[in-house]
């Protein structure tokens, strides 16, 4: 009898788990992601922790129409020697952030990281329009991204990044081109450009 009861409980839990997507609505206004702060407009959804390849614990992924179509990713406080992803397999040869990286090298770090996210050989990424960008009081950079992915639409997007206290704050927007990229580009760009650090972190 007890085993039947347990079976029923487990079955019910599985049924409910299937109904729960795990996505939650992002609040309009200022949002904190670790020590990073950004201002969001309406319509963004926070992806659950299990979504995304090699997600760092303190990072967040937002989407409007689903992660395959558009994603806005925030990766805060990447320390010297760390990768933008967390993958246990050492043979993955992940590129790592180095505290003395200059804009061209952060651009390369992004390109190589994207290749790892989508799978070596499955995607070709290129970057362009590297330019200076200020995030709050911090000097940083932005650049554009284009990707061709196997059995998938082309992707386009942009990256914003800055380094404070030898830590990298990295944000990117990537969406299926042309429709979804164009649809959310301006909003995503405004969110990335709104990024700054919480005052407490700046004083630390």
Partner 1 sequence: MTVRRLTFLITTTFIVCGVALAAVEEAEELTHKIPPGYVPEEARDEQGLWLELEEAERSLNKSALLIRNTDINAYINAIVCRVAGAYCNDFRVYVIRNPHFNASMTATGMMQIWTGLIVRAGSTDEIAAVVGHEIAHYTRLHSLQRLRDIKKKMAAGAFFDVALIALSGVSAPVGQMTAMMSALAFNREQESEADVLGVMMVVDASYNPHASYTVWENIIAEEEAAVAKREEPGMFAKTHPAAEERARYLKALVTARYGPPDQDAVHDQKLLSVLNSNYAMLMEDQLDTNRFGRTLDLLERHGEMGVNPSLVRFFYGEMFRQRGEDGDRELAKSAYRHSIEGADAPPEAYKNLGYLLLKDGDIDAAKDNFRMYLELHPDASDRAMIEFYLEE
Which lies closer to partner 1 via its Cβ, residue 94 or residue 198? 94
Q: Is the dihedral of CA 59, 64, 68, 70 positive or negative?
A: negative
Q: Report if residue 190 touches partner 1, rule: CB under 8 A.
A: no
Q: Which of 133, 134, 180 is nearest to 157 (CA)?
A: 180
Q: Report if residue 112 touches partner 1, rule: CB under 8 A.
A: yes
> 176-184 contacts: CB < 8 A, separation 24 or more?
176/68, 176/69, 176/70, 177/146, 177/153, 180/65, 180/69, 180/70, 181/70, 181/155, 181/156, 181/157, 183/64, 183/65, 183/70, 184/64, 184/65, 184/70, 184/72
Q: Report if residue 103 touches partner 1, rule: CB under 8 A.
A: yes
Q: Which stretch binds partner 1 (CB under 8 A): 65-73, 115-123, 156-164, 193-201?
A: 115-123
| Structural contact between residues 85 and 57, judged by C-beta atoms closer than 8 angstroms | no
Which lies closer to partner 1 via its Cβ, residue 46 or residue 69? 69
Which lies closer to partner 1 via its Cβ, residue 105 or residue 186? 105
Q: Which of residues 145-174 bind partner 1 (CB under 8 A)?
A: 148-151, 154
Q: Report if residue 186 touches partner 1, rule: CB under 8 A.
A: no
Q: Report if residue 87 touches partner 1, rule: CB under 8 A.
A: no
- Binding residues for partner 1, rule: CB under 8 A, are 89-95, 98, 100, 102-105, 108, 111-112, 115-116, 119-122, 124-125, 128-132, 141, 143, 148-151, 154
């Amino acid at each position: 009898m007890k085993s039947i009861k347990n079976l029923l409980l487990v079955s019910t839990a599985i049924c409910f788990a299937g109904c729960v997507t795990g996505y939650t609505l992002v609040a309009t206004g200022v949002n904190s992601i670790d020590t990073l702060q950004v201002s969001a407009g309406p319509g963004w959804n926070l992806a659950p922790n299990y979504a995304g390849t090699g997600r760092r614990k303190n990072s967040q992924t937002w989407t409007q129409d689903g992660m395959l179509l558009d994603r806005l990713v925030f990766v805060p406080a990447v320390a010297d020697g760390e990768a933008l992803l967390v993958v246990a397999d050492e043979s993955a040869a992940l590129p790592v952030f180095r505290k003395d990286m200059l804009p061209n090298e952060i651009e390369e770090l992004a390109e190589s990281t994207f290749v790892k996210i989508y799978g070596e050989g499955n995607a070709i990424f290129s970057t362009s329009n590297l330019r200076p960008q200020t995030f709050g009081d911090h000097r940083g950079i932005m650049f554009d991204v284009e990707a061709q992915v196997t059995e998938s639409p082309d992707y386009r997007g942009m990256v914003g990044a800055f380094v404070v206290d030898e830590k990298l704050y990295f944000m990117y927007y990537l969406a299926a081109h042309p429709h979804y990229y164009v649809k959310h580009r301006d909003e995503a760009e405004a969110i990335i450009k709104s990024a700054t650090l919480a005052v407490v972190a700046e004083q630390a």
